[in-house]
Amino acid sequence: MAPWALLSPGVLVRTGHTVLTWGITLVLFLHDTELRRWEEQGEPLLPLTFLLLVLGSLLLYLAVSLMDPGYVDMQPQPQEELKEEHMAMVPQVAVLRRCRYCLVLQPLRTRHCQECRRCVRRYDHHCPWMENCVGERNHPLFVAYLALQLVVLLWALNLAWSGLRFFQPWGQWLRSSGLLCATFLLLCLFAMVAGLLLASHLYLVASNTTTWEFMASHRIAYLRQRASNPFDRGLIRNLARFFCGWPSGSWETLWAEEEEQEEGSCQAV
C-alpha cells in the first residue's frame, strides 16, 4: 500500500470514528458512572454487555463503510447488451439510459455517485461519515447500524448523566466532571442525529423509496410523471423485500406492472 493511501479520506474518517467511539467508552469507564460502580460491586455482566454493543455497532459501521454498496459492473456482459436491446423493443418497460460519466447502462433506480465515481444500484445517498455510498447491497445493514448505534448512544447518555455531580465548587466540578459533561453534550448531538436518520430511513423503507427519489422525484425520469410511487407494494412486502430480498424481481418489472395498472384504470374510466 502506498504511504499516501493511509491519508485517504476513507481511512481518516473510519479511524476518527473508531477513536471517538472507544474514547467516549473510556471516559464513561474512568469517571464515577454506573459502569464503574457495577465493576466495583463485582457485577461485570452489564459493563460487558455495553462493551459488546459498542463493539457490535463499530463492526456494523465498518461493514457498511467498506462493502460494495451495489456498484454497476463497469464492463457490460453480453446478456446485459441483449437486455438493452430487449428494453428498446418492449414499450411497457421503462427505457434504460447510459451514464454520461462512466457510460454503463443504468438499471432502474441507479444513480452515478460523483464521490465514488461509480453508478450505484438503488442509490440512496453518499454518506460522508461512512465515506461510502448507501445503496442496494448495504442499505439494510445501514439501517441496522443506525438502530444499534441509537441504542448504544441512549445507554451511554444515561451512563454519562449518572456520573455528573452538580453541587460542587466550580473549579472542582470542572476538574472532576468537565470532560464527562462535554462527553454528555456530544452524545446528545449524536443521539439526535442517529434518531432522526433512523426515523427517516424507516419511513423511506416502509414506502419503498430512497432518499434520492424522495428529494428529487421531480428530476427523475421514471418518477416525475407518475401520480404515485411505482415501487410501493404495501408495508409488509416493502419490509420483506428490503430486509429479506423477498419477493424477488427487477425494479423494471415492478415499474411495468404499475404502468399497466395505471393504463387499465384510465381505460376503465
The residues annotated as belonging to the active site are: 127
Strand partners, 106: 97
What length is written for the chain?
Answer: 269
Other Cβ atoms less than 10 A from the Cβ of 207: the count is: 16
Do 67 and 138 form a contact (C-beta atoms < 8 A)?
A: yes
CA distances in angstroms from 167 to 6, 54, 140, 216, listed in the order given: 46, 31, 46, 52
**What is the Cα–Cα distance from 146 to 205, expressed in whole angstroms?**
13
Cα–Cα distance, 116 to 196 (Å, whole number)? 25
Report residue 243 as a C-alpha cell.
Answer: 430486509
Q: Is 169 left (phi over 0), alpha (psi -120 to 50) or beta?
A: beta
Residue whose C-alpha cell reads 457510460 in the numeric block: 103
Separation between Cα atoms, residue 52 and residue 55, nearest integer Å: 5
159: nearest Cα among 49, 260, 264, 237? 49
Longest dimension (CA), the chain: 80
- What does DSSP assign to residue 243? H
